[in-house]
Structure formats: structure tokens, C-alpha cells
């Protein structure tokens, strides 16, 4: 996990290059271990490093006679790529260098073989091209802006704002969208002049022009036999790949289905104690956490979140985030990160589990809507459904091309919508800002291209049944950990606590 910033010039400009170099300090929190830069007449690249793999020789930029690379993230199939690319001469043991190996072998098309979380820039010296790319799920952020001197890109928005030397104008349209759905969709940020690289998008920049392409990560339909062996094999493999690290890691543990799966499999794979950080609001929560972890190899660190914490961390968060996030869980997550980062550089988290296994309550509502389909003429129902999706995605105009056409059922479309919008534009922004404020890498085993490929087309009736989302996963976990009540209705304790704090203030 690192920070990257760069500038592609329309024509050489030493003065602007120095301004870009001055932005390094603004990304120090993302990469406190080391930094490096690459400068020529057409380009300036900066990298700040949080060292996780190849601690001694994995510094960036990585440069050879053909290319220069700055990358943020982790490539989980690095070892497999190295075995397949014998012709490429590696200079380091860094997982990031496998990006160059794939690009060297097959150009931009070769990048589709990457499995991981990443946002990177490759400078192709021979072609004079700059390639910007972001992973399919948008786990790692990447922003850019067109300036009169060229194009600036960065891991965060604030350095771009600093470079502009002026207050960025807030888009009235995006502000209205945020007030409606609590996050901003699509390539546009809330600022008129600053854009996102989309999840799965590749930008090729040359002579001031940008060529864009978008990776379709929706898998081809493959009917999978869903049994305990299949679920066990797939989840175990994903978690194992996300545990590759040259430094110790911990886990954020809530006691819910997703974090319980993580804790269970880390126990199975490592057979030694793992440190788990949990936030609690009352004594009942403490007793529950102690009870469900008693038979697992875990050092449980319980962190109290009080009413005074609410107001302190609310003010703190307002100063740290660079685009609006209406997710109340950001406050206890900031506190967890501040404490965990004192001992660990890497944390394993359960983000993506609700999208993968269909855990959100709104998915059950979708199923109820589909049940009512029998009461409407087909044309009328389809019109209602299409208009509903259109209202959710009015900014992107994607309901026709990227939502309604993907997946075979409305539940699959709802899941795919969240993968393309809610996940990268809310949950993952929250996770990135909370962790990187303290120089900490977050790994999300449930947001994985192999898991997505194998679980997306599982029959809806297995996902939602008897009023429970994640039904087949709940059954699976019940058989794995008999004393854990996987069918217990989980209360949103964070929400209830936050509402209580606000109510006390208003009385």
C-alpha cells in the first residue's frame, strides 16, 4: 500500500515539475517507509512506500530500459505470474514488478491477468505513453485532472487540490446526488474538475490525448455445484492468497458472518494466534465477542467507543476525508485503525462479503418485488423496474449497458450495481482513508476476482431464503462452527449508537 502522484506534460515545464515534486509530503502518510521519483521532460512520477513485501529491494519507481512503474496496492498472484513469465528479467522481488512483466509480454491486454488491488502508472519509454490503471473492483483509488500544462493524477484528491492553488468548485449536480444516495457515482467526484479512474479502467495518455478502455469483469456463466467442499476450497484459497506478507497482520473483527469466516480460516491456515481488533459500545457486546472467540486462536483487543469518541472522531474525520462519505461506521473504523497501526502494517477486513454473498436487506426487498411480478402485465412491470434502476444510476446512464444487461436476475443486477457503485464509491473510500491516514494496508479477501467468478451466478434461492440473506453461507458456517449462531439477526449497533449520540445532543 502506497501513494502515487504524477504529471504528464503537454510540453516540458520545469516550474510545474517542481510543484509536482513538492506534493510528496502530502502523501507521506500513505507511504512512510521510503519515497522515490522519476523525472524527464515529459513526465514526473512520485512514489511513497509502505513496505509489505520485499522490504529491502522493493522500492519504487521500478525502472528498466523500457518502462517506469509506480504502483499502489498488492498483486496476489505475483508468484504465479513469475512462474509463467520466464523471459522477463525481474529486478526485484516486489509483487508490483509483475505488472511490468505482464505488460512487457502482452501490452495492455496482459494486465487482465492481474489478481489483486492496485492503482498504477506505467511509462512506456519507446511509445512515449503513460498508462493509468485501476483494479476491477476499485479497491485502490486513483484520481486525475486536466490542467492547462498537462494531466495530473494521484492516489488522493487533496494533493490535486494543492497543486491547483485554488478552491475546487463543488458540482451542484453531484452535491444533489450525494444528498440523495449518500455517495457520488461514476467517474465524476463532487468537484467539477477532478475525476476518478473507474474500477477496471485503463487510460492511455499520449500527446495530451486520453484513450480510455474498460475491463468487463462480469464472469461468463458457469454452473457450480454448491456444496461445503466447493465453498471451503474457494474461500480458503482467497484468504490464503491475501495473507502473503513479509510483515505481521491483524484482523478487524465485528462478530458478524464475514469477520467470523475470516477468523476461522486464518486459524485453519496459520494454526497460531491472530490479533483481532473489535470495537464495542456496551458490556453486552463485550460478552458476545468473548463468547464467540473463546474456542479460536485469537488475541482479542476490545476497544470502547464512547459518546465523547463520537464527537472527537467526527471532527477528526471531517479533516481527513477529501470527498464526502455519509457512512457512520467511518468513526469507529478511524479509532480502530489508530490503535491497530501502532503494532501492525496490514489488516484483514470483511468488506465485500455482503455484496458477494447477498447479505444486504435491500436484496431481500428486491426478491419481494420480483415475487409481485406475477400481479403486473409484463410490459408494465419491466417499465417499473427499468425506471427504478434509472433513478439509481441517473448520472452514469449505465442502467441500459452495464446493469440491466448484466446478470440473469434482478438480484444479480442489484449485486452487480453495488459492485460498481456502493462498494468503490463508499465502503472502499472509507476503508482507504481510515487505514492510510495511519500508514496501514487493508486487505479484503471477499473482494476477489476468483471468488466473484465462482459465486456470482449461484442460484438466488440459495442466497436468500426464509428471510435470511447469505443463506448458504450461514448454513456452511453453522456446520463449521457449531457453537456460533450464524442465523442470529444482527443489530446495527453502530447505527443505534450514533443515533443515540445525536439524540442526546438535540435534547
- Note whether 162 and 309 are same-domain residues: no
Supply the CATH number for residue 464's domain. Answer: 3.40.50.620
- Given 165, 184, 215, which residue is the final one in a domain? 215
Per-residue pLDDT tens over the stretch 334-372: 999 999 999 999 999 999 999 999 998 888 765 555 444
- Note whether 312 and 206 are same-domain residues: no
In a domain, 382, yes or no: no
**Mean pLDDT for the chain overall:** 88
Domain that holds residue 61: 2-215
SS3 readout for 239-288:
HHHHCCCCCCEEEECCCCHHHHHHHHHHHHHHCCCEEEEEEECCHHHHHH
In a domain, 386, yes or no: no
- Predicted confidence at residue 166, as pLDDT, reads 85
Q: Which three cell numbers stand for residue 167?
A: 478552491
- Note whether 258 and 208 are same-domain residues: no
The mean pLDDT value for 411-427 works out to 91
In a domain, 210, yes or no: yes
Residue that has been written with the C-alpha cell 522493493 in this structure: 58
Domain count, the chain: 2
- Note whether 187 and 240 are same-domain residues: no
- Note whether 301 and 440 are same-domain residues: yes
- Note whether 233 and 210 are same-domain residues: no
- Note whether 236 and 159 are same-domain residues: no
In a domain, 379, yes or no: no
Separation between Cα atoms, residue 140 and residue 385, nearest integer Å = 32
Supply the CATH number for residue 115's domain. Answer: 3.60.20.10
Separation between Cα atoms, residue 430 and residue 455, nearest integer Å = 25
Structure confidence at residue 271 as a pLDDT band (50, 70, 90): confident
**E strand or H helix at 75, and its extent?**
strand 67-75
- Note whether 209 and 337 are same-domain residues: no
In a domain, 300, yes or no: yes
- Note whether 256 and 185 are same-domain residues: no
- Note whether 76 and 168 are same-domain residues: yes
Q: Which comes out higher in pLDDT, residue 401 or 228?
A: 228
In a domain, 112, yes or no: yes
In a domain, 395, yes or no: no
- Given 180, 215, 250, which residue is the final one in a domain? 215
Produce one character per residue of 80-93: b if its CB has 16 or more CB atoms within 10 Å, e if not.
Answer: ebbeebeebeeeee
- Note whether 177 and 301 are same-domain residues: no
In a domain, 418, yes or no: yes
Residues of the chain above pLDDT 90, percent: 65
Antiparallel, parallel or unpaired: β 2-9 and 43-49: antiparallel
- Given 215, 240, 270, which residue is the final one in a domain? 215
Q: Which three cell numbers stand for residue 234?
A: 474457494
What is the value of pTM for the model shown? 0.90
- Note whether 61 and 18 are same-domain residues: yes
- Predicted confidence at residue 225, as pLDDT, reads 79
Of these ranges, 63-67, 183-187, 317-321, the one predicted with the greatest mean pLDDT is 63-67
Amino acid at each position: 500500500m502506497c501513494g502515487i502522484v504524477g504529471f504528464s506534460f503537454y510540453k516540458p515545464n520545469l516550474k510545474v515539475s517542481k510543484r509536482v515534486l513538492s506534493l510528496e509530503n502530502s502523501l507521506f502518510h500513505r507511504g512512510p517507509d521510503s519515497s522515490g521519483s522519476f523525472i524527464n521532460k515529459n513526465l514526473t512520477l512520485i512514489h511513497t512506500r509502505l513496505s509489505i513485501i520485499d522490504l529491502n529491494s522493493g522500492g519504487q519507481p521500478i525502472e528498466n530500459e523500457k518502462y517506469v512503474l509506480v504502483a499502489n496496492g498488492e498483486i496476489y498472484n505475483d508468484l504465479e505470474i513469475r512462474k509463467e513469465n520466464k523471459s522477463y528479467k525481474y529486478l526485484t522481488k516486489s509483487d508490483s514488478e509483475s505488472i511490468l512483466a505482464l505488460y512487457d509480454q502482452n501490452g495492455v491486454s496482459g494486465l487482465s491477468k492481474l489478481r489483486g488491488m492496485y492503482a498504477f502508472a506505467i511509462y512506456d519509454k519507446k511509445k512515449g505513453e503513460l498508462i493509468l490503471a485501476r483494479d476491477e473492483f476499485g479497491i485502490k483509488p486513483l484520481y486525475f485532472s486536466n490542467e492547462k500544462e498537462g494531466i495530473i493524477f494521484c492516489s488522493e484528491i487533496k494533493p490535486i487540490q494543492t497543486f491547483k492553488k485554488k478552491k475546487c468548485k463543488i458540482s451542484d449536480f453531484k452535491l444533489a446526488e450525494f444528498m440523495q444516495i449518500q455517495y457520488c457515482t461514476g467517474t465524476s467526484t463532487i468537484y467539477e474538475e477532478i475525476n476518478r479512474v473507474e474500477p477496471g479502467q485503463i487510460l492511455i495518455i499520449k500527446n495530451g490525448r486520453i484513450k480510455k478502455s474498460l475491463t468487463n469483469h462480469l464472469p461468463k456463466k458457469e454452473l457450480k455445484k454448491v456444496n461445503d467442499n466447493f465453498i471451503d476450497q474457494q474461500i480458503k484459497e482467497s484468504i490464503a492468497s491475501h495473507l502473503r506478507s513479509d510483515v505481521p497482520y491483524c484482523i478487524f473483527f465485528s462478530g458478524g458472518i464475514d469477520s467470523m469466516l475470516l477468523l476461522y480460516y486464518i486459524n485453519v491456515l496459520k494454526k497460531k494466534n491472530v490479533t483481532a481488533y473489535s470495537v464495542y459500545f456496551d458490556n453486552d457486546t463485550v460478552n458476545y465477542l468473548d463468547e464467540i472467540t473463546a474456542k479460536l486462536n485469537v488475541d482479542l483487543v476490545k476497544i470502547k467507543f464512547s459518546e465523547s469518541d463520537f464527537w472527537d472522531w467526527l471532527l477528526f474525520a471531517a479533516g481527513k476525508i477529501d470527498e464526502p462519505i455519509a457512512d457512520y461506521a467511518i468513526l469507529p473504523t478511524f479509532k480502530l485503525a489508530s490503535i491497530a497501526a501502532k503494532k501492525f502494517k496490514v489488516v484483514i477486513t470483511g468488506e465485500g462479503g455482503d455484496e458477494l454473498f447477498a447479505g444486504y436487506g435491500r436484496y431481500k426487498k428486491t426478491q419481494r418485488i420480483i415475487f409481485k411480478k406475477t400481479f403486473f402485465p409484463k410490459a408494465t412491470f419491466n417499465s417499473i423496474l427499468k425506471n427504478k434502476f434509472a433513478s439509481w444510476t441517473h448520472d452514469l446512464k449505465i442502467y441500459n449497458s452495464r446493469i440491466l444487461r448484466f446478470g440473469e436476475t434482478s438480484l444479480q443486477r442489484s449485486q452487480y450495481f453495488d459492485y460498481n457503485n456502493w462498494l468503490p464509491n463508499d465502503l472502499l473510500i472509507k476503508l482507504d482513508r481510515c487505514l492510510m491516514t495511519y500508514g496501514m494496508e487493508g486487505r479484503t479477501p471477499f473482494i476477489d476476482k476468483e471468488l466473484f467468478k465462482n459465486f456470482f451466478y449461484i442460484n438466488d434461492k440459495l442466497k436468500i431464503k426464509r428471510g435470511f440473506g447469505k443463506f448458504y453461507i450461514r448454513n456452511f458456517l453453522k456446520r463449521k462452527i457449531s457453537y456460533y449462531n450464524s442465523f442470529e439477526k444482527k443489530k446495527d449497533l453502530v447505527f443505534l449508537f450514533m443515533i443515540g449520540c445525536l439524540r442526546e445532543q438535540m435534547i
